[in-house]
Amino acid sequence: METQFVDTFVMIAECGSMAEAARRLNVTPTALAQRVRALERELGVTLFTRSGRFVRVTESGARLLVRARQFQQEVRELKAAASADGFPGGLRIGAIRTALTHVMPEILRGIARRYPRLDAALEIGASHDLYHLVASGNVHAALMVEPPFPIPKSFAWHPLRVEPLVLLAPAGLPASDDADTLLREQPLIRYDRRTWGGLLADQYLRQRGLQPQERFELDSPDGIQVLVGLGLGVSLVPDCFREGSLPAEVVRIALPGNTLARRLGMLWPVGSPYARLFEMVLPEAARA
């Protein structure tokens, strides 16, 4: 049995889409379908059923999926035993989108500098989704917002960056207006409350007794700063912007008496085969 076919099966099961799995594996959908058919012939069972553009694992496929993931782990451990670095290949790291330009590059540079032969792939998502990906073993670690609940002892957490909550406002508004005045008088472009960072903005508004007129709600600080620059409103967001990256049309205003902040860090399971790698690379990334 080709290990490549097992990897293909797991990827399709996780994506729920042949087209998406083909994109991630960098193969054609036709080649992907051929691998699935070959695996089904060898095992003598049907692994997937189609529903429009999506696929679902059959009962036989679900039973195989558990063993297939165990098989992948064993293959990684075999590779680690033969590796001079002592790490298995195929490192998968989750990351929130706002960390891709100012935190993750330093981590990847540290990995490449120390272990140039180690291949890594990124999984982009919201922090609450990344937490579950780490817990399920679908990624080896995640660069994410610190959870709003105690982290279980089965996980290691390394803090990297603190981003205080700030107000973004159009540059043309009166400079004498403070943050609370602007929140009372201007439309609010809300950072999505389904995110852990967005919950901070909601908490600030409740603490100050503010009920601004809401105009838009979206999960993208970069998109929010564009809308603010167009004069469409103000917004409460974690200060996740690189120095000098905000356009001239947007000003960043500190919040009076604010102690709320988004804390970024790396989460991984205790006992991970990559733990030594993270412990070496992350302090360098934090200093940078």
Other CB atoms within 10 A of residue 31 CB: 11
User: Which stretches of the chain are assigned E, i.e. beta strand?
Assistant: 48-51, 54-57, 91-95, 120-124, 141-145, 155-170, 188-191, 214-218, 235-238, 250-254, 261-269
What average pLDDT does this structure show over 90-118?
87
Q: Distance (Å, rounded) from C-alpha 137 to C-alpha 288?
A: 29
Instruction: Point out which residues pair with 164 in neighbouring strands.
Output: 261
273: pLDDT confidence band, cut at 50, 70 and 90? confident
What average pLDDT does this structure show over 76-97?
71
107: pLDDT confidence band, cut at 50, 70 and 90? very high
224: pLDDT confidence band, cut at 50, 70 and 90? very high
Query: Is the model's pLDDT at 129 over the cut of 70?
Result: yes
Q: pTM higher than 0.85, yes or no? A: no
Q: Distance (Å, rounded) from C-alpha 221 to C-alpha 264?
A: 15
Query: Is the model's pLDDT at 132 over the cut of 50?
Result: yes
> What pLDDT digit, counting tens, does each position of 43-71 carry?
999 999 988 788 899 999 999 998 888 88
Identify the structural domains of the chain with CATH numbers, from first to last: 1-81 (1.10.10.10), 163-262 (3.40.190.10)
Give the pLDDT confidence score for residue 77 in this predicted structure: 65
* CA-based nearest residue to 278, from 193, 121, 160: 160
What average pLDDT does this structure show over 191-211?
90
256: pLDDT confidence band, cut at 50, 70 and 90? confident
> What pLDDT digit, counting tens, does each position of 230-255 carry?
999 999 999 988 777 888 999 999 89
Query: Is the model's pLDDT at 200 over the cut of 70?
Result: yes
285: pLDDT confidence band, cut at 50, 70 and 90? confident
175: pLDDT confidence band, cut at 50, 70 and 90? low
What percent of the chain clears pLDDT 70, i.e. is strictly above it?
Answer: 94
Structure tokens at 159: 């803090």
Q: Is 52 helix (H, G, I), strand (E, B) or coil?
A: coil
Q: Distance (Å, rounded) from C-alpha 13 to C-alpha 24?
A: 13
* Lowest mean pLDDT segment, chosen from 172-181, 195-204, 275-284: 172-181
Exposure b/e, 242-274, CB count within 10 A at least 16 = b? eeeebeeebbebebeebeebbbbbbbbbeebbb
Query: Is the model's pLDDT at 86 over the cut of 70?
Result: no
Give the pLDDT confidence score for residue 194 in this predicted structure: 86
